[in-house]
Amino acid sequence: MNNTRTLFWDTRYKRLRAGWRILLQFALNIGLILLLGTVVSTILDPVIPSNVRGYLLAYPVMFVATLIAVWLAGHFLDRRRFSDFGLSILKPAWWADFIFGVVLALVPVLIVLLTLQGLGWIALESVFRSKLAGGPIVLALISVIMTHLCVGAFEEMARVYQVRNLLESVWVHFGRWGAAFVALGVAALISVCMHLSELELLPPIFLVYVLLDGVFLGLCYLVTGRAAIAIAAHSTVDLLLLTVFVLGTSAFFDGFVTLFRVRFTDPASTAFIATHLDAVVLIGLLIYEMVNLLALYVWVKMRYGKFSIADNLALLTLLSESNKGES
């Protein structure tokens, strides 16, 4: 009986074990999304055009629901401060990391696109079109930027909650980097599962991107103690690929706002990519993530003097007790 109880309950710190806390936070998150979505839809459906309703409402609802779910789970299940999830947005260092995250996402995408255009493989066509009819595109663009920020924020907040709890629970058993490997891997796999529905529109190699990028974005939190870089990089990449530079070959990229459309112009390179899509994408992803990792390493070394998992992330920050280590 006692063994069964300890499977669920940490008797030393009087709280559920990490796996159950993550599961309950996820369930709470889904429940709040459904509840808030119903309330918001009931109120705003009559005043928002049907063709853009889902886009404008869904992601802000998910952001608010995740924010509430992480706070509730952190306070009542984890018994830790909300700031321990890397969301100290009032500190200048947080915004310095955020700006770096934007640059980290922006520079590689621009380099790749400009290089391909210079080689004559692609053309960038000005579109500047919005599905929000009757209003200036600037307003639609502002709304889409806020939407992508919501997406990046809610996905990375959920990831940070998972990584923090997993890291804390296995640090003693696996050590600093071993615990990081476990925490990042499990959190990235959870993200992969959450993106399975997108296989209706995207090839399976997309899930490899979700996995690799999930590991990298989680690492951004672990080496800085802040979620800023992950939120900024995630939001910026989505904005660039779904709004600013939109591929013209997939229905998935038929965005709410389109500024430029990417059109392949070289038949030979287009045929080669189509024939060897998985290999080309995989090689590109590996190079992309290695460049990101190198840039992150340089930034963290410059800012903090060393590239390492922050010691305080393995310490309990119970609201009612002093910091201790979890067994």
Percent of the chain with pLDDT over 90: 68
pLDDT bracket for residue 323 (50, 70, 90):
very low
In 10 A of CB 20, how many CB atoms? 16
Which position has the higher pLDDT, 220 or 57? 220
Residue-level pLDDT at 63: 98
Residue-level pLDDT at 193: 97
Residue 239, pLDDT > 80, answer yes
Residue-level pLDDT at 191: 97
Task: Give kind and range of the element (H or E) at residue 258.
Answer: strand 257-264
Instruction: Kindly tell me the burial class for residue 78, based on how many C-beta atoms sit within 10 Å of its own C-beta (0-12, 13-18, 19 or more).
Output: buried
Tokens of 227: 């979620």
Residue 319, pLDDT > 80, answer no
Q: Region 243-251: what's the mean pLDDT?
A: 75
Q: Region 289-316: what's the mean pLDDT?
A: 91
* Contact predicate 222/167, CB 8 Å: yes
Residue-level pLDDT at 3: 66
pLDDT bracket for residue 256 (50, 70, 90):
confident
Compute the distance between CA of residue 269 and CA of residue 196 in angstroms, rounded to an integer: 29
pLDDT tens for 112-157 read 999 999 999 999 999 898 877 777 889 889 999 999 999 999 999 9
Compute the distance between CA of residue 231 and CA of residue 193 in angstroms, rounded to an integer: 20
Instruction: Kindly tell me the burial class for residue 112, based on how many C-beta atoms sit within 10 Å of its own C-beta (0-12, 13-18, 19 or more).
Output: middle
Residue-level pLDDT at 48: 81
Instruction: Kindly tell me the burial class for residue 149, based on how many C-beta atoms sit within 10 Å of its own C-beta (0-12, 13-18, 19 or more).
Output: buried
Residue 89, pLDDT > 70, answer yes
By three-state DSSP, how is residue 10 classified?
A: strand
* Contact predicate 174/314, CB 8 Å: no
Q: Which range has the worst mean pLDDT, 27-31, 75-79, 165-169, 246-250?
A: 246-250
By three-state DSSP, how is residue 48 classified?
A: coil
Residue-level pLDDT at 254: 56
- For the chain, give the mean pLDDT: 89
Percent of the chain with pLDDT over 70: 93
Residue 327, pLDDT > 50, answer no
For residue 300, give Cα distances in angstroms to 182, 184, 237, 276, 307: 22, 18, 21, 36, 6
Indicate the angle between helix axes 277-304 and 205-224, nearest 10 degrees. 0
- Sign of the four-CA dihedral 253, 127, 110, 221: negative
By three-state DSSP, how is residue 318 classified?
A: coil
In the chain, which residue ranges form alpha helices assigned H by DSSP?
A: 2-8, 18-44, 50-72, 92-118, 137-194, 205-224, 228-239, 267-275, 277-304
pLDDT tens for 11-68 read 777 889 999 999 999 999 999 999 999 999 999 888 887 767 777 889 999 999 999 9
Q: Region 103-117: what's the mean pLDDT?
A: 95
Q: Which range has the worst mean pLDDT, 188-197, 244-253, 272-281?
A: 244-253
Residue-level pLDDT at 325: 40
Residue 316, pLDDT > 80, answer no
Residue-level pLDDT at 134: 73
Q: Region 291-317: what's the mean pLDDT?
A: 89
The DSSP result for 67-87, as a single string, is HHHHHHIIIIII---GGGGS-
